[in-house]
Homo-oligomer: A and B are copies of this chain.
Amino acid sequence: MDFRKISGEDIAYFRSLEGVRNIFTDNDNLVIAASDQTEDLRYLPEVVLQPETVEAVSAIMRYCNEHRLPVTPRGAGTGLSGGALPVFAGVVLDMKRFNKVLNVDKRNLQVVVEPGVITQELQEHVKAEGLMYPPDPASKGSCFIGGNVSENSGGPRAVKYGVVKDYVLNLEVVMPNGDVMWTGANVLKNATGYNLTQLVVGSEGTLAVITKIVLKLIPAVKHDLLMLVPFRSSIDACAAVNAIFMAGYLPSALEFMERDAIEWSMKYVQSSGVSLPDDIQAHLLIEVDGNNLDQLYKEMEAISEVVQQFDIDEILFADSHEQKEMLWTLRRKVGEAVKSNSIYKEEDTVVPRAELPELLRVIKEIGHEYGFHSVCYGHAGDGNLHVNIVKAGMSDDDWNNKLPEGIRKLFKEVVRLGGTISGEHGIGLVQKNYMDIAFSASQLQLMKEIKKVFDPNGILNPGKIFAA
């Protein structure tokens, strides 16, 4: 793609608009908008716009569409696939001023929220009304709900409560040509025309700019219990995941962590809350939730009986709010811990749940063949395993040239197992060259043509999802 540079005239136009709170062209602010949480990638935009009204977003899009200027929407910049990186420079559309919870509809269990609200703040806001918005990505304390919708995020609770797409009822979006529209209706069931809502969910900011989100809520759940189960074999830990389901239990979280994951995370957050005997290879972090505490204790006991069929060490039952928080913090900080430890790449594999042991075996086998070390962890209950490949002693040449072949091989295995190449992080920039593994040429063509329907001039988040 070929875009012209942003001119003084463009900036003057943006300055003339009402409802644009900030227009940044200074280096400090451009640098902030140049990165997200993906590896150490950095692409400097030419201007950062912070609109605060739908009308302003509409005017910006219309102008950029007419003048063929690339626009990259940006949430909190916590993405892991490079979706917010302005790879063709141009405009970063920073949505942080859209930071209001507009309406909690208690009667209908719905909330209308702007995209720039931090996910955890949204959760706390509705919790104060006795309601719950379940999806909770590890970055929930800093990520925006708009980014979650754009990437179709998951998180630990997805195993019981589903992912973001399962909660999005309706979206207000601004099309690349500036048209403002709703994608659906605020109803629980809808058989009226094509499902534009689910087409925009997970489209990574490439189809339209989200300006309002209507989410389904559920009544808040009263209690949860948490336990940490140490396994002497990682493969066993993966196999135990399916054993729990086959025994008829549905935990509200079922997280897998390889030894390195929890060990590095403990160092990173300077915690010594978990003892880590030498023979422990992996942990499962298992949560159950519900409104009947007695019932939950019974469930916890039954699940602990299931995992005791495997070669495990002593189970840690979290017996206070603080201990639960400590365990969850260890889990949530794995990604940052790995990042602080080494240059790394994160792959977001997902397979049918029962294939997890085979997936883990294959990951290690390919690592051996291509000479990379991986730290694996993630939402095992969904079959979703994050594979953090650490550079460590790898040469730059191997890292840049040999590793992509290893990743390619890994993704082929993932697809062979009935899975796909991203469970919740999206494709964005860093996975787009692997899309041909998950999809045939005609599938990719179909997606590209859908992109063209929304964005005929290709100005919205160019360079993402598709290799070329």
Contacts and interface: CB of A to CB of B under 8 A. Distances in A.
Interface of A: 105-110, 151-154, 158-159, 163, 165-166, 175, 179, 181-182, 184-196, 198-199, 201-203, 207, 219, 242, 245-246, 248, 250, 291-292, 295, 348, 350-355, 379, 382-384, 415, 418-427, 435, 438-440, 442-444, 446-447, 449-451, 453-454, 465
A219 B196 CA distance: 31
B442 A453 contact: no
Contacts of A418: 185-187
Contacts of A175: 442, 446
Contacts of A158: 188-189
Contacts of A192: 420-422, 427, 435, 438-439
B454 A453 contact: no
Contact of A350 (B189, B198, B355): B189
B190 A422 contact: yes
B188 A382 contact: yes
B191 A426 contact: yes
A412 B291 CA distance: 40
Contacts of A292: 295
Nearest to A187: B350
Contacts of A242: 107
B420 A184 contact: yes
A443 B196 contact: yes
A189 B245 contact: no
Given A107-B242, A110-B352, A352-B105, A435 B193 contact: yes
Given A187-B423, A446-B453, A193 B246 contact: no
Contacts of A151: 191
A333 B59 CA distance: 53
Nearest to A190: B420
A187 B426 contact: no
Given A187-B418, A382-B188, A193 B447 contact: yes
Nearest to A465: B193
Contact of A450 (B163, B194, B384, B419): B194
A423 B179 contact: no
A453 B449 CA distance: 6
Nearest to A449: B453
Contacts of A423: 187, 189-191
Contact of A108 (B195, B348, B354): B354
A193 B427 contact: yes
B165 A108 contact: no
Which has the most chain B C-beta neighbours within 10 Å: A153, A188, A353?
A188
Contacts of A198: 165, 195, 198-199
Nearest to A218: B250
A37 to B, nearest CB: 15
Nearest to A195: B198
Nearest to A214: B418
A84 B37 CA distance: 49
A181 B165 CA distance: 23
A171 to B, nearest CB: 12
B350 A181 contact: no
A39 to B, nearest CB: 18
Q: Which of A151, A354, A420 has the most CB of B within 10 A?
A: A420
A242 B106 CA distance: 11
A92 to B, nearest CB: 22
24 contacts: A108-B355, A151-B191, A152-B191, A152-B195, A158-B188, A159-B188, A163-B189, A181-B443, A182-B443, A187-B352, A187-B382, A187-B418, A188-B383, A190-B422, A191-B348, A192-B421, A192-B435, A194-B207, A194-B447, A195-B201, A195-B202, A446-B454, A449-B453, A450-B453
Contacts of A202: 190-191, 194-195
